[in-house]
Amino acid sequence: MTRYEILPTVDGPQDLEGLSMEQLEQLCGEVRDYIIRTVGRTGGHLAPSLGVVELTVALHRVFRSPGDKIVWDVGHQSYTHKILTGRREAFRTLRQRHGLSGFCRRAESPHDPFGTGHASTSISAAFGIAAARDLRGDDERVVAVIGDGALSGGLAFEGLDNAGGCSRDLIVILNDNNMSISPTVGALSRHLTDIITHPLFEQIKRDVWEITERLPRVTGTVRQIVQRMEESLKGLLTPGLFFESLGFRYLGPVPGHHLPRLIGLLEKVRAMRGPILVHVITQKGKGLPDAEKNPRKFHGIAPLQTENGKMEPARSGLTYTKVFGETLCELAAEHSDLVAITAAMPDGTGLSRFASDYPDRFFDVGIAEAHAVTFAGGMAARGARPVVAVYSTFLQRAFDSLVHDVGLQRLPVIFALDRAGLVGEDGATHHGMFDLSYLGCIPGITIAAPRNGAELRDLLYTAVHARRGPFALRYPRATVPDPDALEQPPRLLEIGRWEQLKPGGDGCFLAVGPLVGVALAAAEHLHRDGLEFGVVNARFVKPLDEAILLRLASEQPLLVTLEEGTVAGGFGTQVALALTRRDGAAGARLLQLGLPDCYIEHGAREELLAAAGLSPQGVAEQVRARLRRRAPEAAHPAAGDRRWSASRRPGEPAVGG
């Protein structure tokens, strides 16, 4: 920290007040350097944060947080905001267990007025904050900062529509870098590009915008004249006046790395009333040449390592994501009706190769998960075989589409749920721990989870050949245990059939997905104690293999379900339901292990799994404890359990880890 001059003097936004423009510009350079060094070590969202350093400094110079409320969309770009709002030193712990979150968190700082992680929420949340402010008779300014990618989400449009229809004071800053994770898609994005590439943009900036900027605070008639002049010229420039027709006063576009201009504009905006949208043009990855050149690669990075003399994000081995992407391409060669759909995540979901090999059959719909599902339903209704590749956590957005537009109509849509289970450093907003619960209650759906890469291939192959309504596959953010997975041709599996890997005697594990490996290792631990535990690969969570289940229930003294998902309503619950349907007393011989019924913080995936008792040792210990106890009892920690409760504000839900 000693290398920096200004940064160590900033303990909160109030410390920006006395700084000259030159000092603020120097501060931007120091913050950028600090972010690059820290994120290079911890991993995180580098390019998005580098793009908004000046914008964040300008916002904190002009607005008075935490009185004024700044609501970041997604929150992945909030690193400068964290550094300037009293979290400079803690920033070194970014995304580490018990350290700072990679997103905004109400529990972390009063400067984070709303928790974030999923896209497109900022306008609705900020508008809610503004409405509550007005009810209380207060007058703070409320600012939502949303990227052009997040603006492609339906929720953002709903927020704009609602807020623009009222006269309430609300400022929306559109941080337009022409990128989502990959290039932003959609008509609105094209419209934004038209604005900034229009030949009149430069001229307008010079002739009108700068004049109005230079005018002293104008009021009354002068203001109206200037406003009208500006609007008629903008009419030339912004065909359709999209935001204005939604009821927002549109200002910009303004260059987002020009601090004096940003500050000048925001000072004026702070004094304005009604719904206002400020269009700011930024460059993703600004200040780090590699990230400027390849913002896609530097959107979210693993810790940097030196490779061929260059700093590169660390590489991993063969991942489930890669196995999925490669297998889908193989299957697409045989099935011309197979199409792939992503909600703005072609790289993360492993679809990049599919996108380049089959461009006509690849659909990136923007950050629009509900639309992706209903769109897939439409395609399936017309004979296509859609595969929606999506992170487990983001599919939560689309629950009604799953039920109403696919499930109820028994449409054969395949859902490839990546990042199912604990994702690690992205934390509570991103863990894919609810899918077995929210999918499990959909009638007629097939839910499967592979225990390794080869089985992922088998299950995807099976899903493509089955034409029996929705079929969901869930797999983790992890490398596969079988690095040669891609070498074997995929096989057709019988839907609803489990695989018994080990016989047992004192009990049997019924394990889902990667936890089959944990069950095998836990069985070894128990064997050393003289206990014989069997292992079943419960690769279908729905339908259950009731034949094996009922046989084991009658043979084994104890059944232990094991899943990387919340115990509330997941696989263990489905097993209990099936057993109680057949035998009211069966619950007495069932131990349900999984993730606890509370939110789980960020940290390394293995670390979090161990904390949840899902390491082989942890599982074996919970089984021993269960065998020691006479009376059946919940083995998982409940919400509010001391081990899982983090310090939190009154009224906030428990956060685990």
Ligand X SMILES: Cc1ncc(C[n+]2csc(CCOP(=O)(O)OP(=O)(O)O)c2C)c(N)n1
Where do contacts with ligand X occur on this chain (CB under 6 A)? 48, 51, 74, 76-77, 118-119, 147-150, 177, 179-181, 284, 343-345, 367, 369, 394, 397
Query: Any idea which residue has 């006269």 for tokens?
Result: 167
For residue 398, the minimal CB distance to ligand X (Å) is 9
Smaller CB distance to ligand X: residue 76 or 257? Answer: 76
Cα gap 115→101, rounded to integer Å? 11
Burial 328-346 (b: 16+ CB within 10 A, else e): bbebbeeeeebbbbbbbbb
Smaller CB distance to ligand X: residue 393 or 537? Answer: 393
Smaller CB distance to ligand X: residue 237 or 291? Answer: 291
For residue 178, the minimal CB distance to ligand X (Å) is 8
The two most distant CA atoms of the chain are separated, in Å, by: 90
User: Are the CB atoms for 181 and 299 separated by under 8 Å?
Assistant: yes
- Which of 95, 296, 397, 502 is catalytic? The answer is 397
C-alpha separations of 340 from 373, 456, 498 in Å: 11, 17, 28
Question: What SS3 class is residue 27?
Answer: helix
Smaller CB distance to ligand X: residue 66 or 183? Answer: 183
Cα gap 577→631, rounded to integer Å? 20
Cα gap 443→468, rounded to integer Å? 12
Sign of the torsion angle spanned by Cα atoms 227, 245, 71, 391: negative
Smaller CB distance to ligand X: residue 348 or 618? Answer: 348
For residue 299, the minimal CB distance to ligand X (Å) is 6
- Which of 87, 284, 477, 539 is catalytic? The answer is 284
Smaller CB distance to ligand X: residue 251 or 398? Answer: 398
For residue 341, the minimal CB distance to ligand X (Å) is 13
For residue 77, the minimal CB distance to ligand X (Å) is 5
Smaller CB distance to ligand X: residue 375 or 394? Answer: 394
For residue 255, the minimal CB distance to ligand X (Å) is 16
Cα gap 475→412, rounded to integer Å? 20
Q: Is residue 474 flagged as an active site residue?
A: no
- Which of 30, 326, 369, 564 is catalytic? The answer is 369
User: Are the CB atoms for 595 and 564 separated by under 8 Å?
Assistant: yes
For residue 622, the minimal CB distance to ligand X (Å) is 33
Dig out the tokens for 86 from the structure. Answer: 């009293």
Smaller CB distance to ligand X: residue 151 or 516? Answer: 151
Q: Is residue 284 flagged as an active site residue?
A: yes
Cα gap 90→99, rounded to integer Å? 7
CA 215 to chain centre: 43
* CB-based contacts of 634, cutoff 8 Å, min separation 6: 592
DSSP class per residue in 564-612: EEESTTSHHHHHHHHHHHH-TTGGGGEEEEEE-SSEE--S-HHHHHHHT
User: Are the CB atoms for 154 and 367 separated by under 8 Å?
Assistant: no
Dig out the tokens for 312 from the structure. Answer: 């590169």
For residue 175, the minimal CB distance to ligand X (Å) is 6
Smaller CB distance to ligand X: residue 267 or 347? Answer: 347
For residue 176, the minimal CB distance to ligand X (Å) is 8
Dig out the tokens for 207 from the structure. Answer: 């002739």
Beta strands of 392-483 (E only): which ranges?
414-418, 446-448, 471-474
Q: Is residue 369 flagged as an active site residue?
A: yes
Sign of the torsion angle spanned by Cα atoms 556, 558, 559, 564: negative
DSSP class per residue in 275-328: EEEEEEE--TTTT-HHHHH-TTTTSSBPPEEEETTEEEEPP-SSBHHHHHHHHH
Bridge partners for 391 per DSSP: 418
Smaller CB distance to ligand X: residue 288 or 367? Answer: 367
For residue 331, the minimal CB distance to ligand X (Å) is 25
For residue 115, the minimal CB distance to ligand X (Å) is 13
Smaller CB distance to ligand X: residue 45 or 141? Answer: 45
Question: What SS3 class is residue 553?
Answer: helix
Query: Any idea which residue has 């339901």 for tokens?
Result: 577
DSSP class per residue in 460-514: HHHHHH--SS-EEEE--SSB-S-TTGGGSPP----TT--EEEE--SSEEEEE-TT
User: Are the CB atoms for 561 and 572 separated by under 8 Å?
Assistant: yes
* CB-based contacts of 332, cutoff 8 Å, min separation 6: 338, 340, 354, 357, 358, 361
Q: Length of the chain, please?
A: 657
Burial (CB count <10 Å: 0-12, 13-18, 19+), residue 631 = exposed
User: Are the CB atoms for 256 and 80 separated by under 8 Å?
Assistant: no
User: Are the CB atoms for 561 and 591 separated by under 8 Å?
Assistant: yes
Residues classed as catalytic = 284, 369, 397
